[in-house]
Structures are given as C-alpha cells and as structure tokens.
Structure 1
C-alpha cells in the first residue's frame, strides 16, 4: 500500500501547552516571567519545527492471541489490549509524525547554557507541538476512514496496552520513517525525540472513539493519563480501562 508523506501545519494555542506545564487548560493568568518564556518558546518551536507525517493503510490478516497480524507489512501489533482494540477492524492506518531535528538541537543547546525554567518550558512547548502534529495527522486518517464507510478506533501506540516499545524499529521500517528523518535508537526511542507513532483501526462496527478522559480528571489535560508525558510524576492519576 502506498505510503503518503504529509507536511503538517503547526498552530499551537495555550490550552494545548498548559497540561505539559503541570497546569490545567485554564489555569488563569500566569506569572509574567513564565508567560514571557511560554510566548518566547512557542515562537521558537514554531520557527524551528518542520512537522511532517507519514501514513500507510494496511489490511489485517488476523487478530488472535494478543497479536494483530497485517497482510502487507512486517509489523505485529501485540499486547494484552491489541486484539480487543482491533477486534472489529479490517484495516489499520499506520501514523508517524515528527517535528524534525532542529527541535532536538535547540533543546540540547538550552540544556548547556540556559536555566532549568527555560529548558522545562521549551520541552513542554515542543511536547505539545508533537502531540498537535499527531492529532492533525490522526484527523486526516479519520477523514479517510469515514470516507470509506468505516469507523475509526482510538489510536494505539508502541509502549502502551502491552505493545512492546521494542516494536518501534519494525514500525518505523514498515512506514519508511527515514523518508521524514525518523529513526530508532538502540534503546527503542524515536529520533528526533519529538516524534510519535500510532495506529488507528478501520472498524465495520460503530466504536466509541474515546481516550477515556474522565470529567473529574484534575488537570483537565486533553491526554489520557496513559499518554501523558508527566504520568510518572503526577500526584492524581486516573485509573483507565486496559488496552485503551
């Protein structure tokens, strides 16, 4: 199946950034010095980022034993939640998005010469930008899925729901990640760092496209606790259903 390269827009708003700063989406006025740094690094990230994405549609061969086998890609979607997540699906769309290497370079420079606040806020803005790009790519995939009379599932990524992070190498190879400069380190992490891979299923039956964001979630982040980059430090995690 043809792999598509997509140039992605990047139009960040503050509400997308606040969760990555340990804030809810409407925290009220920030201290002047913090707001100045946020504005500075929104501009810097927007200037440096070169958001690109890849999509590839693959047919599903089987969904048994916690493994989703694809017909036309050397990639196995594995894990306790994989079979249930894609049980009613006939196809999947592989997604990969990256901000490009200049974000990593700028972060490394800040770590050498700037203060902790600068590094933290730049990293938070860049993380929000990466999430923005995968959401944009996801929206394009969803349009394609619905246009073909299927129902899209929620995204499912390596490292979650029991899908081993070691699968990143196979994933990136299956989608020709090098076409947008995407690679995988020996520790199975994506390079550039601000990159995301995910899979969306094509279901013949209606499914709830939800990441289970409870209304009472304290931070009001648009991310699930599972997907939040701050999950290891969070004092108020919300329990989620397995495999979502």
Structure 2
C-alpha cells in the first residue's frame, strides 16, 4: 500500500466546462440554449469559483483485497480515489430554493456535478502519470454502482482511507455526503488490462434504459 495523498484545488484554476453544465441541465447536443440561461450559467459559474471547496484523497493499494471481484483479477495494484466539490454546493442550492429561485438552484446543482467530475479528471491524470513513470499501464476509471460493479463496494473503497477522505462520509445506504462527490478505482499493472467500461456504454447493464447513453455524463 502506498501512502495516502490528499489534495486541495484552487477553484479559480478548476476547468469547469460550460458544455457539461448545459448537459447536466438537460440540454442535448444541438439544442438551443436561451440567452437568459446562458447569462445565468455565466453568473453562477463566476460566483461558484469563490465558494467551491474541491478536495480529493487517493492512494494506491495492492489488488489482493479485490481478488474476489472478477473485474480486478488482472490488476497488480488499484488506485482508489474519493473527491468532492464540497458541502457548500448543497448549502447554496438550498438557499436558492428557499429564496424561490429554482432556476438558479438547478444551475448551481449542475455546476457542483461538473466540479466534482473536474476534480476526478485531474486526479485521474495524476494517477496515469504515476503509472507511466514506472512503465505501467492503467485503465479508465470506474465507480461502484456503474459498469456492473455493485454499489455496495463503496465500503471497500472507503475502508482503505482513515476517517472521512476529503471530508466525504459514506452513509449506510452507500451514498456519499457531500452529495457532489465521486469515488472511483483505476486498475494499474505492468501489462495491459481489460477495460471495465470500454467506451462505457457497451459494458453497462443500464444501456437500454439510460437517458445518458453514449453521453459523457455517465459516470460508468
């Protein structure tokens, strides 16, 4: 087991994709976004960079504890990550709903989702670099509850961290709090390994009934 690494991110430097915000708001490719919505997204993005609290924790562990899971049999090590946009997202969303500004609340909620994924992207890149530096391979990241990996294995990830990694708590129902949080695993090894989510959608049991099929919003 390698040492725990905890990271805090400057929200001013975090890459928050407007396109992803629109997609979380339900705007599919080609659908026109109103000027009012565009203004609101820009306004809330600017404000969010003042209060977002993006954090992450990750560590690389031997794959032995995962040996009974079919998806991990070809891994030598597994990089485990928990990251979050911070609890302020929920506070801001609740505040906006109380003020009767449901539209802005939905935009802030979408920004929180995009921020959590942006943190995950950044940590994923660091894990990939770590593997490359030792001449190893990695797979795409995948999360409990997706790619046919049981959501109950959230506890397997959290078990490898002391306390609450990145300030994230796991409930008895395997939900993460703050809500805008992401956990994932990346397989690592000296040889190429099978992808759990090749192109994500083809490997997913929810493909036929998923509103985000073939969409980057899917966390699988």
With the shorter chain as reference, the TM-score category is 0.7 to 0.9
Determine whether 1:126 maps to 2:112: yes
C-alpha deviation, 1:99, in angstroms:
1.3
Equivalent positions of 1:1-244 (< 5 A) are 1-9=2-10, 10-24=14-28, 27=30, 30-61=33-64, 68-69=66-67, 78=69, 83=70, 85-176=71-162, 178-207=164-193, 211-213=197-199, 234=211, 237-238=213-214
C-alpha deviation, 1:119, in angstroms:
2.0
> Counting strand residues as a fraction of each chain, which structure ranks higher?
1
Give the paired residue count: 209
Retained in 2: the 8 A contact 1:86–1:203? no
C-alpha deviation, 1:170, in angstroms:
3.8
TM-score by length of 2: 0.81
Show structure 1 runs of 5+ residues with no match.
Answer: 63-67, 70-75, 214-222
Runs of 4+ deviating beyond 6 Å: none
> Counting helix residues as a fraction of each chain, which structure ranks higher?
2
Instruction: After superposition, give the CA deviation of every residue in 1:97-123 in whole Å (9 maximum; x if it has no partner).
Output: 111111121112122223332222211
Show structure 2 runs of 5+ residues with no match.
Answer: none
TM-score by length of 1: 0.74
Structure 1 residues 182 and 200, CA, compared in 2 at 3 Å: closer, same or farther? Answer: same
Separation (CA, whole Å) in 2 of partners of 1:224 and 1:114: 37
Query: Pairwise CA RMSD of aligned residues?
Result: 3.0
C-alpha deviation, 1:210, in angstroms:
8.7
